[in-house]
Structure 1
Amino acid sequence: MKQLLMLFLCINCSTIANAQQKPNIVFILADDLGYGDIGAYGQQKIKTPNLDRLAAQGMRFTSFYSGATVCAPSRSSLLTGLHTGHTYIRGNKEIQPEGQEPLADSVQSYALMLQRAGYATGAFGKWGLGMVGTSGAPDKKGFDTFFGYNCQRQSHRYYPTHLWDNNDKVVLEGNDLNEKKVYAPALIQERTLAFIETNKDRPFFLFIPSVLPHAELQGPEDAWYRMYEHRFSETPHRGNDYGPEALVAGYASVTKPRATFAAMVSRLDVYVGQVLDKLEELGLSDNTIVMFSSDNGPHEEGGADPGFFNSSGGFRGVKRDLYEGGIRVPFVVKWPGKVKAGSETAHPAAFWDLMPTFLEIAGAPPAGITDGISILPTLLGKGRQKEHRYLYWEFHESGGRQAVRAGKWKAVRLQLKNDPDKPLELYDLQEDPGEQQDIAARHPDIVKKMEQYMQQAHVESPLFPLTGGR
């Protein structure tokens, strides 16, 4: 009996040890942060020492793309491993009084798969893929713990009336759209760090979809703000102020929009640094892969000035565009002893590649259906990295838009709801990364191939019709 007990204990200890050997995964997602908004990608006016440190300690991708050019479809692509021609949510479809169109019951997320593989899972920040109690709520899509904004309209305000703690509504006393008392990102950051502490003895997946630096331009007038308060010339922005006429989805006025935006990016940087420091403090850094990116290109709402900061990093376009500035985003990965410090890659990859990458890192079974290709060979510098024939995006607002990248070629189609067969624009990203010279007339063979890719990639959705009858 004693021998059987000892055998059981040894097996049990071995199981625990193997579980603890699985790497923790931390994915930090900024909101509306442009390719050029951090120092590691060329930002000159805003200080981001922690993100720069993250990039220096890991790998920097120079051809990485978000799932879409606005929030909800980009996050749907990220979570489901499907591009916007296939993913369930393809637009910002609002539900009243709170929430967005929910992911369906049938939709599988990588968080569900990591959960089944033994990971503790937590999400802290902005959701936007289904209200509490619906099929798209965080707890239905694989997250043990969620704290933050469920509804992306609510996240327009940095001093919201409430947040959500799993299925419980947390009223923020003093925040009534008249008064600003409780700064929501600070509360969310506290809970983020607490999750790491709580789960330090088991493998965890931590998703941090930060609301920073999305408009509105607001925040405490603290050291981060004072660092920029007198640095730039400013033009005050008039918005929908806190007070009797305030709207949940509005953006408040701001006296110094440039200083405020810069402070918000620096605040995000400090929050990233706190996560890195917490991992170090708990001895988790060596067994944790940390990734950082943004959900789409830089915004122009609320007084933001992406031109002044070169937020698009020299690329054409901003949020809502399918030119590079709207979808090419920063992506850095740190994994001590696995990912070479100070390395860089031009391998073209996108949000839908992260599902197979996460599952391979976790040793979990691969996803049954995905548009993604694991980028683990690129990260580790080992084995052959498979490549996409093409990367595809569609956007259901602004008249309907499509884009496809295949190698150095990039095609964009605009206003296709009025004309589904509207001619493509074609760009050579190798010679013309700023997409200034439309060379479609010179390359009819390439245009034909890109049209074929668009036709292959787009599967019509009854919830989000792209052309209204195509």
Structure 2
Amino acid sequence: MKNYFLLYILVFFVFNSSCREETPLPNIVIFLADDLGYGDLGCYGNPIIKTPNIDKLAAEGVRMTDFHSGGTVCSPSRAALLTGRNPYRSGFFYILGKDTYLKNEEITIAELLKKTGYETSFFGKWHLSTLEKEKRDEPGPGDQGFDYWMGTTVNAFDGPKNPGKFILNGKSIGVTEGWYCDIIVDKACNWLENVRNKKKPFFMYMCSHEPHTPILPPEKYSQMYDTGEVDELEKNIKYGQVTRPKKDISLNKKEYYGTVSQLDNAFGRLLNTLEELDLKENTLVIFTSDNGPETPVTIEESLGNWDDPIRDKCFGTPGDFRGMKRFPYEGGHRVPGIVRFPGIIPAGIESNVLFNGTDILPTICNLVGEAVPSDRPIDGIDAFAAFLNKKVKRDVSSIWFYPNHEDTYFRMPQMSMRKGNYSLIGWLPPKADSISLHSWMANNNPEKVELYDLSLDPSQINDISIQNPEIVASMKKEMISLWQEMRDEGLAGKNNKK
């Protein structure tokens, strides 16, 4: 079925026909962690980190093993989630910058849901424009469809404890005591209980700081992992085939593990509030991450010109997958994806069907009966069937980009594309120092490629491109077409500051 809300109505009336005359629109909660790796949760096989609340969510819904963020780094993936469009289309080639922000002309999930009668709220890290209007007058959450919001522009290096520069509905409230994830969960729970219009369905979008750097959990969480057993278990953790620092940073791992457990605890309080307010049964909850886990500094360390201890606490893992944050390999964008919708999604199931961050907007629109924008390319599709471990038909392959051009140091490709179980990896030709990043992108197409069959080689170790020239030719043709289309749309609108 294209409209899964019809299925929802049918199921609801079968079991609840004597209780209600009308079936309400479902509430929707999206919780986005920051730099949380695919392998960082207990329910995804982490042998160290305790995440009982997120694990419980998985036991009550679907744990997805092929769920992807829409980008390989922060701002792009957030733009993709809210708009259903590849972030390159909206000019997000990298993170938020002076001329890179989510323009007013983009249409978000929040704006679409408001048309259907939803009340909308946002809490946490925005990272799609500056929220400090005195610096630059750019659209914020209130301009992008959120009725009530409290957030920070980035907070990447402001510290998780007592974070400053929180903006509440456009007004600065300054430093707020506590830890970031606890602050936003407390505020969200208060909104649920005391602020929202209880006669309306709601959409709530939450973005934690954790476990992004700087990493500094309360001591009670880090102490949980200050043991010899943890020391031994960590020796077998995989880090996406990415080189780790030569210096010993092992004492820092308890800080990272403790931060993930702290995040789990905060998320658990949000789930408890939904249950206490009798909202659990009619609320779709999506828990995911904006990209793969961060790496400690290794490149700059090897060059001998930068010491960045703030990232020496990064012990996130992509599990068996290759690459981490920024990498177009699977580990850069394959992330945890857990979805609960009681009565519609069976409890405790697993789905191995691909779901991309761009699919969130059209999936939610079709769920509630709202039309997907037809005046612009939408790269996502209604993929609700993936939540049920059912096949999803994609006419266009999913693609991810990262504009790295320092191949000598990073040995990182610029793009990857999925078609079924095949992953095609692409490199642009080397960039000359005299050429700008945008000129380099605008005038080049992927040349070198690698091909992997993820059903046989999830760690992307064995390049099979030479053995499969026909598959490579077909996929490379599509990759170049998508690259040119999305890149050119983004570059064309780069100076459009509406």
- Specify if TM > 0.5: yes
Greater displacement, 78-87 / 316-325: 78-87
How many pairs are equivalent? 414
Greater displacement, 149-158 / 261-270: 149-158
Could you say if the C-alpha distance between residues 111 and 317 of structure 1 is closer, same or farther in structure 2, counting changes exceeding 3 Å? same
Which of residues 434, 451, 466 is equivalent to 1:426?
A: 451
- Deviation at residue 367 of structure 1 after TM alignment: 2.6
C-alpha distance in 2, partners of 1:430/1:292?
A: 25
Name the SS of the counterpart of 1:411 in structure 2: strand
- Deviation at residue 226 of structure 1 after TM alignment: 2.3
* Cα deviation 1:424-444 (Å, max 9, x = unaligned): 011111111110011111111
**2:265 corresponds to:** 270
Could you say if the C-alpha distance between residues 329 and 462 of structure 1 is closer, same or farther in structure 2, counting changes exceeding 3 Å? same
Could you say if the C-alpha distance between residues 444 and 360 of structure 1 is closer, same or farther in structure 2, counting changes exceeding 3 Å? same
**1:391 corresponds to:** 398
C-alpha distance in 1, partners of 2:429/2:350?
A: 37
* Cα deviation 1:73-110 (Å, max 9, x = unaligned): 11111111012443442211423xxxx72211211111
- Is residue 2:36 matched to residue 1:29? no
C-alpha distance in 2, partners of 1:153/1:45?
A: 26
- Is residue 2:44 matched to residue 1:44? no
C-alpha distance in 1, partners of 2:184/2:175?
A: 12
C-alpha distance in 2, partners of 1:20/1:138?
A: 29
Could you say if the C-alpha distance between residues 314 and 187 of structure 1 is closer, same or farther in structure 2, counting changes exceeding 3 Å? same
- Is residue 2:214 matched to residue 1:216? yes
Could you say if the C-alpha distance between residues 361 and 57 of structure 1 is closer, same or farther in structure 2, counting changes exceeding 3 Å? same
Contact 1:401–1:416 (8 Å) recurs in 2: no
Greater displacement, 328-337 / 86-95: 86-95
**2:330 corresponds to:** 324
Greater displacement, 73-82 / 150-159: 150-159
Contact 2:156–2:214 (8 Å) recurs in 1: no
Contact 1:213–1:261 (8 Å) recurs in 2: yes
* Cα deviation 1:386-427 (Å, max 9, x = unaligned): 334411111123446011010111111235453744310111
* Cα deviation 1:174-220 (Å, max 9, x = unaligned): xxxxxxx6433322221111122133442100111111111111122
Query: What TM-score do the two structures reach when normalised by structure 2?
Result: 0.78
**1:361 corresponds to:** 367
* Cα deviation 1:245-295 (Å, max 9, x = unaligned): xxxxxxxxx994211111110011111111111011011100001111110
- Is residue 2:78 matched to residue 1:64? no
Greater displacement, 134-143 / 181-190: 181-190
- Deviation at residue 317 of structure 1 after TM alignment: 0.8
**1:54 corresponds to:** 57
Contact 2:37–2:318 (8 Å) recurs in 1: yes
C-alpha distance in 1, partners of 2:379/2:181?
A: 33
Q: CA RMSD in A?
A: 2.5
C-alpha distance in 2, partners of 1:272/1:20?
A: 28
Could you say if the C-alpha distance between residues 462 and 110 of structure 1 is closer, same or farther in structure 2, counting changes exceeding 3 Å? closer
- Deviation at residue 345 of structure 1 after TM alignment: 1.3
**1:144 corresponds to:** 147
Name the SS of the counterpart of 2:448 in structure 1: coil
C-alpha distance in 2, partners of 1:185/1:213?
A: 10
- Deviation at residue 303 of structure 1 after TM alignment: 1.4
C-alpha distance in 1, partners of 2:480/2:222?
A: 48
Contact 1:60–1:344 (8 Å) recurs in 2: yes
> Counterpart of 2:359 in structure 1: which amino acid?
D
Name the SS of the counterpart of 2:466 in structure 1: helix
- Is residue 2:356 matched to residue 1:374? no
Contact 1:84–1:393 (8 Å) recurs in 2: no
**2:479 corresponds to:** 454
Q: How does 1:118-197 map to 2 (within 5 A)?
A: 118-132=117-131, 133=133, 134-153=137-156, 158-172=161-175, 182-197=178-193
Q: How does 1:286-325 map to 2 (within 5 A)?
A: 286-301=281-296, 302-306=311-315, 311-325=317-331
> Counterpart of 2:215 in structure 1: which amino acid?
L
C-alpha distance in 2, partners of 1:451/1:461?
A: 18
| 5+ residue gaps, structure 1 | 1-16, 174-180, 235-253, 466-470
Could you say if the C-alpha distance between residues 43 and 381 of structure 1 is closer, same or farther in structure 2, counting changes exceeding 3 Å? closer
C-alpha distance in 2, partners of 1:54/1:182?
A: 25
- Deviation at residue 164 of structure 1 after TM alignment: 1.3
Contact 1:172–1:182 (8 Å) recurs in 2: no
> Counterpart of 1:188 in structure 2: which amino acid?
I
C-alpha distance in 2, partners of 1:215/1:388?
A: 38
C-alpha distance in 2, partners of 1:187/1:233?
A: 31
Aligned residues: percent identity?
34
Which of residues 329, 336, 349 is equivalent to 1:343?
A: 349
> Counterpart of 1:113 in structure 2: which amino acid?
L
**1:204 corresponds to:** 202
Contact 1:413–1:423 (8 Å) recurs in 2: yes
Contact 1:154–1:160 (8 Å) recurs in 2: no
C-alpha distance in 2, partners of 1:212/1:153?
A: 10
C-alpha distance in 1, partners of 2:382/2:192?
A: 26
C-alpha distance in 2, partners of 1:421/1:36?
A: 30
| 5+ residue gaps, structure 2 | 1-19, 233-248, 297-310, 407-412, 432-443, 493-498
C-alpha distance in 1, partners of 2:172/2:250?
A: 32
Q: How does 1:85-100 map to 2 (within 5 A)?
A: 85-95=88-98
* Cα deviation 1:348-406 (Å, max 9, x = unaligned): 11000000111122222223241111122333578x74334411111123446011010
**1:106 corresponds to:** 105
**2:307 corresponds to:** none
- Deviation at residue 461 of structure 1 after TM alignment: 4.1
Contact 1:213–1:265 (8 Å) recurs in 2: yes
C-alpha distance in 2, partners of 1:401/1:125?
A: 29
Name the SS of the counterpart of 2:287 in structure 1: strand
- Deviation at residue 30 of structure 1 after TM alignment: 0.7
Could you say if the C-alpha distance between residues 74 and 421 of structure 1 is closer, same or farther in structure 2, counting changes exceeding 3 Å? closer
